[in-house]
Amino acid sequence: MNRPPPTSPSCIGRRGSAALAALLLGLCTSGCSFNLSSLSPGADKDEPKVTASTTPQTRSAATKADPQESKVQVARGISLAQAGQRDDAMTAFNTAIDLDPASSQGFYQRGLLYQSGKKCKFAIADFTSASGLTPQQVEPLLGRAQCYLALGKAEEAAADLDEASSVAPGNAQIWIARGNIYEKLGNRDKAADSFARAVLLRPNDETARSGVSRNGGRSG
């Protein structure tokens, strides 16, 4: 039985980034690791190398660009995904990207669908495309970081959180997630700095304050 992907907003926004950062925080505190044997059989075996150009293509020469209809298809895909109709949702997102190859939301939402189906490499490719189209948004970076964590690639996830913290320096949850990852990687200086920045934003956050203490920093 297919499980619907997590509910996500129709546009990238602050609520979405907070939810993703919270999920990242949960993953990090549980050890930043996944049991890859739990992935669906062959989920990644036949997937391509992670580049945006290897994302499944559906565009045909007869397809005409229509950015407005692309937005309609993205919204339709979100509704279908939330209803658990994964195949129809994928078709809608593919159509959206066909109609507007610059649709960051099309790539981002399709990435979420791949991610929920544990197709991590396809998801990474789509999040990479979405991030390239909207570098000022943190959600694709957070989504990609989650996928890297799922594949046991903590260093790549840390790099995405470096970038995310630069894009959204006022998001305490991102700093806490970054601190947890660097703590797992053994980089106590970066971990302490990350937790300290979170404390500046949330002085009473015990998770951040204890993170500073564990890594030899000062919480103020």
Domain that holds residue 20: 14-31+46-214
30 pLDDT more than 70 = no
How many angstroms separate the CA atoms of 114 and 143, rounded?
11
Residue-wise pLDDT tens digits, 89-107: 999 999 999 999 999 999 9
Could you tell me if residue 199 is inside a domain?
yes
| pLDDT at residue number 190 | 97
From the list 10, 21, 7, 12, the residue with the least C-alpha distance to 169 is 21
Reported confidence tier of residue 7, pLDDT bands at 50, 70, 90: very low
> Would you say residue 40 lies in a domain?
no
Q: pLDDT tens digits, residue range 47-98?
A: 444 344 444 545 554 568 999 999 999 999 999 999 999 999 999 999 999 9
Interacting residues of 38 by C-beta distance below 8 A, sequence separation 6+: none
Q: How far apart are CA 73 and CA 17, in angstroms?
A: 22
Which residues are within 8 A (CB) of 46 and not within 5 positions of it... i.e. 6 or more apart? none
Region of 55 please: left (phi>0), alpha (psi -120 to 50) or beta. beta
Q: Does residue 3 sit within a domain? A: no
Judge whether 201 lies within some domain.
yes
pLDDT at 217: 78
- What is the percentage of the chain residues whose pLDDT exceeds 70? 70
Assigned domain for 2 exists: no
Residue 12 predicted with pLDDT over 50: no
How far is residue 116 from each of residues 39, 68, 87, 137, measured CA to CA in Å? 11, 27, 13, 21
Answer whether residue 183 is part of any domain: yes
> Which of the 8 DSSP states describes residue 55?
S
What pLDDT does 152 receive? 95
H helix intervals, 42-171: 67-82, 86-99, 104-116, 120-133, 139-150, 154-167
Computed over every residue of the chain, the mean pLDDT equals 81
| CATH code of residue 79 | 1.25.40.10
- What is the value of pTM for the model shown? 0.74
- SS3 call for 10: coil
Which of 119, 131, 112, 84 is closest to 20 using CA atoms?
Answer: 112
CB 143 within 8 A of CB 108: yes
Region 99-120: what's the mean pLDDT? 98
* Total count of domains within the chain: 1
pLDDT band with cut points at 50, 70 and 90 for residue 45: very low
The answer to whether position 205 is within a domain reads yes
Q: Does the structure show a pLDDT above 80 at 119?
A: yes
pLDDT at 64: 84
CB 107 within 8 A of CB 129: yes
pLDDT of residue 43: 37
Residue 36 falls within a domain, yes or no?
no
Q: Please state the separation of Cα 18 from the chain's center in Å.
A: 11
User: Which amino acid is located at 130 in the chain?
Assistant: A
| Nearest 10 degrees: Cα torsion 180, 184, 189, 195 | 10
Residue 44 has pLDDT above 80, yes or no: no
The residues, ordered by sequence, that sit 6+ positions from 214 with a Cβ below 8 Å of its Cβ are 183, 191
pLDDT above 80 for 4? no
Q: Round the CA-based radius of gyration of the chain to a whole number and report it.
A: 18
15, amino acid identity? R
The 10 Å Cβ neighbour count of residue 78 is 22
Lowest mean pLDDT among 9-13, 112-116, 133-137, 162-166: 9-13
pLDDT at 218: 73
The whole-number pLDDT of residue 183 equals 97
